[in-house]
Structure 1
Amino acid sequence: RASAYFVFLAARALEPPTAQVAAAGAPQTPAQRDASSGTNGDLRSPQPDASGTPVAGSGVDAGAAAAAAAGGDTAEFELCIQRSVLRRNVVELSSKYVSLEAFFMRENVRKAMLLDEAPPESVSDNARFSSASDDVFFVFQKCARRALSYCSAETMVAVLGAISEVLTTDLLCFVYFRIFETDNFSAASSSVSAKSATVTSSVQASSPSSIAQAAASAAAAAIKAAPGDSQAVGSNSGLPGASGGLLGGSSGLFWSSSVTPTSVSSTSATAIATASLTNYPPARYGFSVALNNAHITAEYALKLRAGLERDALALCRNARERSMVSEALAQLVDASQLLQNSADEGLAKLCDALVASRLRASMDALARVEYVVSEADYARGDDSSDEFVQLLISEMTSRVLAGLEPKLVEQNWDALVRRLAEWCVKRLEEATILPVQKGSTTRAARRFNGLGALRFDRDVRALSAFFAAKARKSSVRDVFARLSQIALLLNLDSPAELYDIWGANAGGMTWRLTPSEVRKTLALRVEFSQEAIKSLKL
């Protein structure tokens, strides 16, 4: 009833003055009322005048709407609202507002990226990123809060779509651009190979335009690889308006249900993004800050969604609007994942550059490791594996990880430690357990005896403890799960003991090895017969 009364007052406010005067004066005939209102008896749709321009009327039959609301006919009441001129005026105003908001948003985001500053030297552990990361999301926050104050779910959906588009075009390209521009970390290594040096010099000699083109192409490829199909939200059946509602028409704002703007997937859009990136000044910080920017923007996108979700859903009047808002909020999660992927790609490049040239001594020591150990050698402590483990830990500490921990945010540091741990596990597994294919020849896997299995178990525990101590919050012990199970199998007294820890007897342990890999591992023990291993029923 209150809503119907509000509609009645709004309709009266939109009536021409002559109609209001007539309504307040003497009673009129229906023809007189039609002539004064200019609606020819149909108050629900304005009629055009001689020039073809619709004449503004009340736009809604307030009496019918009030009667429908009082009688409980919600469908008819909603139909009255949807057909009203008031509704069309609100949609038109919303469309203009969204266009202005989107323009304001993009220009201010580009201004923030243009004024990007390096973090001050005396920053806390959680502030090792440039000024653009904070400034960009401050703009997003202000725009989203202003859209909330419009009290329209459809307008909120349109603004959220504009935010997602700026995130996945302007910001994502900028993040990739800074990562590519500052990627000269491998050049700092004093032992870089000639081939790597050639590649690095060519990257450093690249012009800003070529770096910008590479960044725009990387961003477009990342968006194209994102799951989901590109769709335009805002069809004629979804949002109000004759041309697709707030997002429709030639000047509308289209956005994707999978954060895959159609503009980014085209070659011309990549060229536009490249030209835009070349306008930014050179970075005033290094590779570590660029990686931190990628992660922190991904984190901010999730925080933005969490901060808007409750208020945005509170604007919804029905299930259709709740679905639209939820879908629009989901785009922020997808955009966050794209930004995080850029950070992961940068960390992968950093890890490859570090291990390619700084762990050669430890890899040479790994090639000399023997795990068939005599009792005399074991008693004397003649341990080639101990040499490898100590050398690897020393090089990791002094040549790979030195100086990086203070520069990276906590999540990037833990991700780097995990990548290095995975690299070490892969090399150790290849060198000791799995046969390696080199050209037309295959190097056989190493053999173990009982004492060698003890040494291998000790080496795995030492490396696992080292990387676990380096990580700040996340755990890396799961990275060594396969090696730990391999060490467990090699330390069995007989193949039959496997039944005590396999299948129903495994307890809480989840086996990472297949039955085939279990048999191959047991076959590495020189004391185990092939017949006993083949007879195992796994």
Structure 2
Amino acid sequence: MITFTCSLAENVSRKVRQLDLAKTRLYNVIQRADDILDLKFCTDGVQTALRNEDYEQAAAHIHRYLSLDQSVIELSRQGEESSAVDASLVMLQEAEQKLKVIVAEKLDEAVAAVDLAQVERFFKIFPLLGLHQQGLARFGQYLCSQLAFKAEENLLLATGGDLGEKRALLVFADTLTLLLEEHHQNVEKLLKHCLLSTTMQELIGYYIPMEEYYMRESVNKAVAMDTYEKGQLTSSMVDDCFYIVKKCISRALSSSSIDCLCAMINHANSVLESDFREVLYNKLRQGFPATTLQDIQRGVSSAVSMMQSSLQQGKFNTMSIESAEHAKAAFLVTLNNVEVCSENITTLKRNLENDCSKLFSQGGGSGDQAKIESCLSDLVNTSTKFKDFLQEGLTELNTTAVKPQVKPWISSFLAISHNIEEEEFNDYEANDPWVQQLIVNVEQLMAEFKTALSPVIYETLTSLMTSLISIEMEKTVLKCSFSRLGGLQFDKELRSLVAYLTTVTTWTIRDKFARLTQMATILNLERVTEILDYWGPNSGPLTWRLTPAEVRQVLALRIDFRSEDIKRLRL
């Protein structure tokens, strides 16, 4: 069995080696064909470019020829097409030498004519011909001659009058500043083409992928090591993640390379927008559980029955309660994490703007500034996405945890008769039948969220809750009937509710209850036609939120108002 297996492995290995050899030979054939085609293309192209005096294009063809694999070219010279290859090589070598002479002469002419545009044009061709050092030396000589000429010219101007010792120092400083300002861009161009700049760009090219890998892996580790301590609003991964991101961007900033900085900002934005946001999304997607413990605390009979059933069986399942409580805390912490992420991204963008302004003060073009602004605008978009994500989570929390509790409390309004006489009205005044219990229930409901959510999120959730109460109240009131004193009772209840809700949030409450307030006003009227004292030209500063049809609908809730009188109203 072992011998058979060994023989089979040897056969497979031999076939793999044969396939690999065939692949290598095929690659060499393709490479050889490509190089022959490149030689032909370069030969034709360089001749045409020289005839048209398009020296940049000619230099590009020569540069392509010089970049070909010389060993493959030597192999090509040994084949059947060797004569054609040799002819192409001779023509390219002659064109190379001819172009070097032309470029050198043209650069000398431009220097003599002090034509900066032509100097820059031919200086850029030297590296394509493999003449890096010669090009830098000639361009450096040109700058030196220009500096010397300007220095002498400014010196003559400065020494045209009598100079004291202090004045001479000032003139010297002014002259030096003027020279540097005039040739600042030229010196920058020289530095960009020097070996140091090229080496730095290569290092940055290696650095960026390494930094990106470090950042992604570190963020993933921060997520894996995420912890939450009771009493804290956020978990550890938020601070850890943004510390890592800021550290990586700070290192990129220290390079003073705009391209490097932009690359790292884009990578950081990608990590936050895709990877980290996906982690938070998966946590929120699990939803907010309505736990048994909540039901027990609020005295729901079904939970009591469940508890009694468990006790009768001789055990009480606390694991489900504990896991639900853990899931509930995780959901609220994740909401806080999302809100802090949005704020941290905004702060990161603001700090980067300050750092980049310092960087640009040391020198930088409008193009570089446009790159940075584009990257920073992406951060703004990511912050907005986190805000939208937070709103989705809050809507889920309101729908799952608040709405199922609030709706029955509001619906209990129907069980309290508002078709009452004076005796019942006095009794309601002494023993409130509905609104005070509603306020207690709402306060208990929101108390757990107030301690577990950040102030900003709690305010938003409270706003959603008040909107829900006003909408449900409006639906419920339209199902009731009212006497004159019943309308007065409803007005008192509404005022108490609005007064309480005003104390629990800094947001405007009265605007949300404007329709209900106007409904209470209508239900308090002594006669149908009294509505005309508040309607139309008599409304004064009051802006009616109810339509004429809705006003008639509310008037019809009063049992003592005749439908004929309501129909005759001209609204």
- The structure whose Rg is larger is 2
Which residues in structure 2 correspond to 1:320-359 (within 5 Å)? 320-355=367-402, 358=405
Deviations 1:493-518 (A, max 9, x none): 555655657679553x6654455544
Q: Which residue of 2 aligns with 1:290?
A: 334
Q: Which residue of 2 aligns with 1:299?
A: 343
Which residues in structure 2 correspond to 1:46-195 (within 5 Å)? 46-48=126-128, 61-62=139-140, 84=193, 93-119=203-229, 121=230, 127-181=232-286, 183-186=288-291, 188-190=293-295, 191=300
Structure number with the bigger relative contact order (C-alpha 8 A, sep ≥ 6) is 1
Counterpart of 1:482, as a letter, is: R
The offset of 1:401, in angstroms, is: 2.9
The offset of 1:468, in angstroms, is: 2.8
1:378 aligns with 2:425: yes
What is the rounded CA distance, in whole Å, between the counterparts of 1:192 and 1:291 in structure 2?
A: 31
Q: 1:502 to 1:322 in 2, by over 3 A?
A: farther
Q: 1:523 to 1:330 in 2, by over 3 A?
A: farther
Which residues in structure 2 correspond to 1:132-531 (within 5 Å)? 132-181=237-286, 183-186=288-291, 188-190=293-295, 191=300, 286-316=330-360, 317-355=364-402, 358=405, 362-381=409-428, 386-398=432-444, 400-433=445-478, 445-471=479-505, 473-492=506-525, 497=531, 500=534, 506-507=540-541, 511-514=544-547, 516-518=549-551, 520-525=553-558, 527=561
TM-score w.r.t. structure 1 length? Answer: 0.60
Deviations 1:384-421 (A, max 9, x none): 9x4232332232234x2343322222122222222222
Counterpart of 2:251, as a letter, is: R
What is the rounded CA distance, in whole Å, between the counterparts of 2:212 and 2:491 in structure 1?
A: 60
Counterpart of 2:501, as a letter, is: F
Of all paired residues, the percent bearing the same amino acid is 24
Counterpart of 1:141, as a letter, is: K
Q: 1:514 to 1:33 in 2, by over 3 A?
A: same
User: Quick check: 2:288–2:328 contact (8 Å CA) kept in 1?
Assistant: no
Which protein is richer in helix relative to its size? 2
SS in 1 for 2:469: helix
Q: 1:319 to 1:490 in 2, by over 3 A?
A: farther
What is the rounded CA distance, in whole Å, between the counterparts of 2:553 and 2:502 in structure 1?
A: 29
What is the rounded CA distance, in whole Å, between the counterparts of 1:485 and 1:534 in structure 2?
A: 21
Counterpart of 1:288, as a letter, is: L
Deviations 1:278-324 (A, max 9, x none): xxxx9996332222212221221222222222333454545554444
Q: Which residue of 1 aligns with 2:21?
A: none
The offset of 1:474, in angstroms, is: 4.3
User: Quick check: 1:449–1:525 contact (8 Å CA) kept in 2?
Assistant: yes
What is the rounded CA distance, in whole Å, between the counterparts of 1:391 and 1:182 in structure 2?
A: 29
What is the rounded CA distance, in whole Å, between the counterparts of 1:326 and 1:114 in structure 2?
A: 33
User: Quick check: 1:58–1:85 contact (8 Å CA) kept in 2?
Assistant: no
Counterpart of 2:372, as a letter, is: V
User: Quick check: 2:288–2:401 contact (8 Å CA) kept in 1?
Assistant: no
The offset of 1:169, in angstroms, is: 0.9
Q: 1:85 to 1:522 in 2, by over 3 A?
A: farther
What is the rounded CA distance, in whole Å, between the counterparts of 1:466 and 1:130 in structure 2?
A: 33
SS in 1 for 2:461: helix
Deviations 1:415-446 (A, max 9, x none): 2222222222221111113xxxxxxxxxxx43
Q: 1:379 to 1:310 in 2, by over 3 A?
A: same
Counterpart of 1:408, as a letter, is: L
Counterpart of 1:387, as a letter, is: P
User: Quick check: 1:45–1:85 contact (8 Å CA) kept in 2?
Assistant: no
What is the rounded CA distance, in whole Å, between the counterparts of 1:505 and 1:57 in structure 2?
A: 89
> How many residues get paired?
399
Q: 1:149 to 1:193 in 2, by over 3 A?
A: farther
Q: 1:395 to 1:505 in 2, by over 3 A?
A: closer
User: Quick check: 1:147–1:156 contact (8 Å CA) kept in 2?
Assistant: yes
TM-score w.r.t. structure 2 length? Answer: 0.57
The offset of 1:48, in angstroms, is: 4.9
User: Quick check: 2:269–2:378 contact (8 Å CA) kept in 1?
Assistant: yes
User: Quick check: 1:351–1:416 contact (8 Å CA) kept in 2?
Assistant: yes
